[in-house]
Structure 1
Amino acid sequence: MKQNLTVEDALEIVLQGARPLQHIEHLPLAASYGAVLGEDLRSRVNHPSANDTAVDGYACLEADTRSASLGNPVRLRVIGQSPAGKPFAGKIGPGEAVQVFTGAPIPKGANAVIRVEDTLREGDFVWLMKPASAADIRHQGDDLVEGQTYLHKGDLLTPGRVGLAAAMGYATVPVVRRPRVGILATGDEVVEPGEPLPYGGVYNSNSYSVAGLVVEAGGEPIILPRVSDSVEGLRTQLQRAGRLDLLLTTGGVSMGEYDIVRRMLELEGEIHFWKVKIQPGGPLLFATWNELPLMGLPGNPVSAMVTFLLFGRPFLFRLLGRTDPPLSRVRAVADTPFEANPTRRAYRRAVLRWVEDRYHVSSTGSQSSAVLHSMALGNALVVLEAGLSAKQGQMVEVIPFPGAL
């Protein structure tokens, strides 16, 4: 069993244990937001499907309008209309125009459009106060070309990408099945919210904060009933969990007599590593139990969330085959000092904001791993290498929380 790994070495082992999911399912567009595309998508159509107008106005022959000006307007005869969805069936000849509306196909014979604000309508005629132009004609396939790939396997389906899939002609999209992630809190002191809190008890916040992080990372959280401090109870609960792609436990991974997760895995699992050189979250454990990847998160609320962000989120991205990085990083000006840990990399909770053309970051206050409200106040982690504190005004590396930017 490897111990006291660097973040990079631990992450490499975690990602080696993440086998990309192969199951593809087809979802209706309205149900696909936030899913990950399982196959490349080619456009089934050209868009626009025909040359159309980008403005309201009149389609005509450009040569008829070259001399038009405010002092010398040109008069054309209006022979019809072309609203979007009802194209003009005829053909425009010299001295003629067809009234067109945004998105309408350009009538046959026309090669230019004059904007309505540059015209004056007079019965069956229209006066042009400037030359018509081809600049407001959108040509067939300007946006999408039939057969060309615009969305790729591993792309996160954002609203813009779902809209693009619709424009390409897809009613359903192939997506990677969301990973099922079991979340199991351990400890006799853990009580479910809403129940009476006994002396020495603590409400189970970990399951719900971690479940939210799982959803943000594209997974399906399965919150399992809490188990008491016994290996037998833990084993029974795991056997009842059903098919999972990852199991997250909180608590039970340190060195105490009641740290049952580590003890059970030592007996009947394979521990790939235990302990990482970070603060908070040092007791992180990664193992396999009955072929199920298991990530043992520390029991302190902040430690559980931070270690999931650093290791659990990349694991789920690898399962989903996502093309975007699991975490982003920016540089920011420290508006408050940040204290380093002397021997391990520290991740300090902070508030990141944009001020005067650059990012600024300030501490949330106490950095105790039991102060959960700091994760509600903060929206980022300041990264400090061992022994390298940051003074006010210094540039620091920052990991924004998902969705913070």
Structure 2
Amino acid sequence: MKQNLTLEAALEIVLEQAKPLEEVEQLPLTAAYGGVLGADLLSKVSHPDTDDTAVDGYACRAADSQGAGVGNPVRLKVVGQSPAGKPFAGGIGPGEAVQVFTGAPLPKGADAVIRVEDTLREGDFVWLMKPASSTDIRHKGDDLVMGQVYLRKGDFLTPGRVGLAAAMGYDRLPVIRRPRVGVLATGDEVVEPGRPLPYGGVYNSNSYSVAGLVEEAGAEAVLLPKLADDVERLRLQLQQTGPLDLLVTTGGVSMGEYDIVRQLLEREGEILFWKVRIQPGGPLLFATWNGLPLMGLPGNPVSAMVTFLLFGRPFIFKRLGRNDPPYHRLQALAESAFEANPTRQAYRRAILRWEGGGFRAVSTGNQSSAVLRSMAVGNALVVLEAGRSARVGDVVEVIPFPGSAGCWR
């Protein structure tokens, strides 16, 4: 068993166990949002499929509109109309124009368009107050070319990408099966919300914060019943758990008499590493139990969330084969001091905002790993190397939380 690893060394071991999933589901477009594409997609159509107009106005021959101006308007005969979906069937000859609407195919013989606001209609004629041009013509294939790949395996399916797939002609998409991640809180003192809280008890926040992070990362959270500090009951729970791609536990991974997760894995599993040189989250444990990857997060609420973001989220991203990184690192100006840990890399909660052309970070206050409200108020982690505190005005490295400014999706 490896101990006291750097974040980089520990993450490498975690990712070795994250084998990409091969199962692909064919989902309708409305069910594909937030999924990961399971195959390259080539466009079934060109878009536009012919030259069309980007504005409402009149299509004509550019040569017929030369020299037009407010003091010298040019008159053209309007020979037809071309709304989107009902293209003009004829062609345009010298001195003629066709009224066109946005998205309408360009009539045969036309090579220019003038916007309606630069014209004056008079019966069957239109006066042009400026020369027509090709600027407002969208040429065939400007957006999509039939047979070209525009979405690739591993792409996260944002609304824009689902919309693009629809524009390419797809009504169903191949989507990687979501990994099933079990979430299990342990501890005699842990009580489910809504029940009376006994003396010395604490409500189970870990299951719900971690499950939310699991879902946000693109996996399916399987919330397991909270477990008391009993090794035999933990074994039974694991035996009865259905198929999972990862089991995440909170609590029970330190060195105490009641740290049941570590005790069971020492006897029956394979602990790949225990303890990482980070704060918060140092007691993190990663193991396998009967072939199931198990990530033992510390019990303190902040430690559980931070370690999942740093290790659980990358595990899920790799299993899904996502093309984008699980988190980004950016630079921000510190507007408050951030205290380092003398021997471990520290992750301090901060409020990140964009101001004056750059990111700025201010501390959420108390940095105790038991102060969960710092994860609710804050939207980023400031990364400090061991022994290197940050003063006001220093440039610091920051990891934004999912969904926040500069987010990593």
The TM-score normalised by the length of structure 1 is 0.99
Q: Deviations over 1:131-162 (max 9, x none)?
A: 11111111110110000011111111111111
Cα distance in 2 for partners of 1:335, 1:123 equals 67
Partner of 1:279: 279
The residue number in structure 2 matching 1:142 is 142
Match of 2:209 in 1: 209
- Supply the distance in 1 between the matched residues of 2:124 and 2:389 (Cα, whole angstroms): 78
Which position in structure 2 is the counterpart of 1:132?
A: 132
- CA shift, 1:326, in A, is 0.5
Give 1:85's aligned residue: 85
TM alignment of 1:55-66, pairs within 5 A: 55-66=55-66
How much does 1:120 deviate?
0.9
Percentage of pairs with the same residue: 76
**What does residue 15 of structure 1 align with?**
15
In 2, distance between residues paired with 1:218 and 1:368? 29
The answer to whether 1:223 aligns with 2:228 is no
Question: In the TM superposition, what is the alpha-carbon distance from 1:71 to its structure 2 partner?
Answer: 2.2
Q: What secondary structure, in the 3-state scheme, does the structure 1 residue paired with 2:166 have? A: helix
**Does the residue aligned with 1:121 lie in a helix, a strand or coil?**
strand
Structure 1 position 32, deviation (Å)? 1.1
CA-atom RMSD in angstroms = 0.8
> Which shows bigger deviation, 138-147 or 124-133?
124-133
Aligned ranges 1:93-104 → 2 under 5 Å:
93-104=93-104
What residue is the counterpart of 1:349 in the other structure? 349
Aligned position for 1:335: 335
Aligned residues: 405
Aligned residue number for residue 167 of structure 1: 167
Query: Using the alignment, how far apart are the partners of 1:135 and 1:276 within structure 2?
Result: 59
- 1: CA distance, partners of 2:64 / 2:354: 54
Shift of 1:66: 1.2
Distance 2:359 2:59 in 1: 49
Within 5 A, what are the aligned runs for 1:3-402?
A: 3-402=3-402
Give the CA deviation at 1:72.
2.1
The one-letter code of the counterpart of 1:141 is G
Deviation at 1:90, TM superposition (A): 1.1
**Structure 2 portions without partners, runs of 5+:** none
Structure 1 unaligned runs (5+)? none
Shift of residue 226, structure 1, vs aligned partner: 1.1
SS of the residue corresponding to residue 319 of structure 2 reads helix
**Displacement after TM superposition at 1:67 (Å):** 2.8
Match of 1:404 in 2: 404
Deviations 1:83-136 (A, max 9, x none): 001111111111111100000001111111111111111111111112111111
TM-score w.r.t. structure 2 length?
0.98
**In structure 2, distance between residues paired with 1:32 and 1:128:** 48
**Rounded Cα–Cα distance in structure 1 between residues aligned with 2:69 and 2:282:** 76
Which amino acid in structure 1 is aligned with residue 199 of structure 2?
Y
CA-to-aligned-CA distance 1:332-384 (integer Å, 9 cap, x gap):
11111111111111101111111211111111111111110110011111111
* CA distance in 2 between partners of 1:97 and 1:137 (Å): 15
Secondary structure class of the residue paired with 2:10 = helix
